Structure 1
Amino acid sequence: MAKAHAIFAVLLFLPALAFAGDGSVRTVASIYDNAPRLKDIRARIVADEPVTITELQILADVGDGLAAYKLAERLLAMNRPDLNGKAAHYLAIAVNDGRTYAVPPLFAILSDRTSDISPVRLAHIENALNRQAATGDPASVLALARLYLQGHPFGARPEKAKALLRAAVDQQFVDEALALQMAMLIASGAPLSAEDEAAVRAYLRVAQESPDIGTRTAAENLLRAFAEPEALSGEDEHG
């Protein structure tokens, strides 16, 4: 019960935290070497020169993550919900290309239950997120775990969500704010195994080092609720 109260208290006062989404970008493939049109389109994108939607799609459809992200931005700027599925498809191409700054807008579309996304596209999107999560990218791990826990659009998979979060514990590039979110996600998926609780503590220790007093205080409060079993037994003996 104490754990539930601690989690609820943190949820009340914790500010909204953004995804990191700053993962490394893969080197551009050599498909452009013998494709002058593709090379020209990409050069104009990089130079921030005018590029049509058709040109972006040509490049995105051969797997260029930058073009895919730019195309998704254009589609989303149209404010047409019927294009959400297409935008999500191209954001997934960007994610698959290592551009994890595409994760937050992709997560937003997937969390919107009005988004109409075909099963084929959903499979492609899930694979892209899983691929990046397997590399330890914290934004992809967090997004996929949240989607599995909320049960939409990939179905409820709480155990897989917790497994993803446990596997990312040792990643050195998980920052304090993300660590707190990850700890809270695991903690919210009761019942918790001993491995789950160990992962919660590991993330909270990272979050405890945050320069932000809100993050640090929340982590310290939760750590008291998830104290090591040995520490709890010691308190009982001296209580």
Structure 2
Amino acid sequence: MTLSQRFFFLVLVGAALATAQTLRAQTVNLNTGKIDFAQEAGARVDVTIVRGITRSDQLPAPLVAVRKRLSAKRYVRFADLRALADYGDGNAAFQLAKRIDYVARPQLAADAAHYYGMAAQSGRGGAIYGFIRAVDALDPASTSQARLTSLRKTLLLYAAAGSGPATEAMLRYYVAGAPFGDLGPDLDRLVVQTDSPAANAVALQLASQILHAGGGDAASLGTAKGYLDKVAGADSLRLRLIAENLLPLVNEQIAALPPQLSQDMPNQEVSQ
């Protein structure tokens, strides 16, 4: 049995033995090795990137009236709502995004993602769900690079803060290579530079990609071992079981390397 085959067998065993006693739950797609990282309801993460409009006196007079109507839950015209959102009002951005019917008009998905992203950046963590659905629907080929960069930043910051939905989306986009291109360096930074609960799920995903690809060279095995060493200290029983069962297999592969290769293997320790 190859290392890749044993990897997937152990993922299956780890999944069967795991329990759902932690706040976060992981499921495993055995076709891709992708770890889906999902949080239960009530574990919402709010991230404030841009403070935005917090008081009516920050607005010009016409938009003050619009903001008051919105706060009173009265109907606000689409154009007025957009003007308020574009001025930096996170609530207006959230309400506007929910009005954009990108299912009927797919070309509007990037606009919906933009306004959901504005809402999420202003600390409205609930907007991340609509944000991800809109990003899933957008066409990267017809979306400006500036907008994709902004959307990517929002997703990365929410994942780094421990948002399960954002982390799960990042892993999907990483495996697919779209809509943001190669997320590998971003995921690696998340693992190394943050203590987010998501970092362990990401580390296991990165290790799985290396092993699934059959990486048997010193550098690849050293990198995979560094990721798995980190995951072996995770709070999640499922992640620990998978990592602890994979590490002996990786160590076995490292021990089988020619002496000159194993001696030259770089230190791939990942911050705990």
- TM-score in same-fold range (> 0.5): yes
Name whichever structure is richer in strand by fraction: 2
- Given the alignment of the two structures, is residue 6 of structure 1 paired with residue 10 of structure 2, yes or no? yes
Matching residue's letter, 2:57: D
Q: Any unmatched runs of 5+ in structure 2?
A: 16-27, 211-219, 253-272
Superposition map of 1:48-197 within 5 A: 48-76=73-101, 79-112=104-137, 114=139, 116-133=142-159, 136-139=161-164, 140-168=166-194, 170-171=195-196, 174=197, 181-182=201-202, 184-190=204-210, 191=220, 192-197=223-228
Aligned residues: 213
Structure number with the bigger relative contact order (C-alpha 8 A, sep ≥ 6) is: 2
Matching residue's letter, 2:77: T
When residues 138 and 39 of structure 1 are mapped into structure 2, their CA distance, relative to the original with a 3 A threshold, is same
Q: Distance in 2 between matches of 1:131 and 1:15?
A: 18
| TM-score for the superposition, normalised by structure 2 | 0.62
- Given the alignment of the two structures, is residue 43 of structure 1 paired with residue 63 of structure 2, yes or no? no
Matching residue's letter, 1:156: D
When residues 102 and 165 of structure 1 are mapped into structure 2, their CA distance, relative to the original with a 3 A threshold, is farther
When residues 141 and 220 of structure 1 are mapped into structure 2, their CA distance, relative to the original with a 3 A threshold, is closer
Identity of aligned residues (%): 23
Q: Distance in 1 between matches of 2:82 and 2:175?
A: 33
Q: Distance in 2 between matches of 1:182 and 1:157?
A: 11
1:207 to 236, 249, 252: 236
Matching residue's letter, 1:101: G
Conserved 8 A contact 2:204-2:243: no
| TM-score for the superposition, normalised by structure 1 | 0.69
Matching residue's letter, 2:101: L
Matching residue's letter, 2:9: H
Matched with 1:33 is: 57
User: Residue 61 of structure 1: CA displacement?
Assistant: 0.4
1:17 to 23, 31, 38: 38
User: Residue 24 of structure 1: CA displacement?
Assistant: 4.8
Conserved 8 A contact 2:190-2:199: no
When residues 223 and 27 of structure 1 are mapped into structure 2, their CA distance, relative to the original with a 3 A threshold, is same
Q: Distance in 2 between matches of 1:162 and 1:142?
A: 15
Q: Distance in 1 between matches of 2:209 and 2:185?
A: 8
Q: Any unmatched runs of 5+ in structure 1?
A: 209-217, 233-239
User: Residue 67 of structure 1: CA displacement?
Assistant: 1.2
User: Residue 93 of structure 1: CA displacement?
Assistant: 1.3
> How much is the aligned-residue C-alpha RMSD, in angstroms?
3.6
Conserved 8 A contact 2:93-2:115: yes
Which of these two proteins has the greater Rg computed from alpha carbons? 2
Q: Deviations over 1:32-84 (max 9, x none)?
A: 31534333333333332222211221111012222111111110376321211
Q: Deviations over 1:162-204 (max 9, x none)?
A: 3223433x23xx4xxx6774454333331444432233224xx
Matching residue's letter, 1:185: Q
Matched with 2:214 is: none
Moved over 6 A (4+): 13-16
Q: Distance in 2 between matches of 1:16 and 1:27?
A: 28
When residues 8 and 163 of structure 1 are mapped into structure 2, their CA distance, relative to the original with a 3 A threshold, is farther
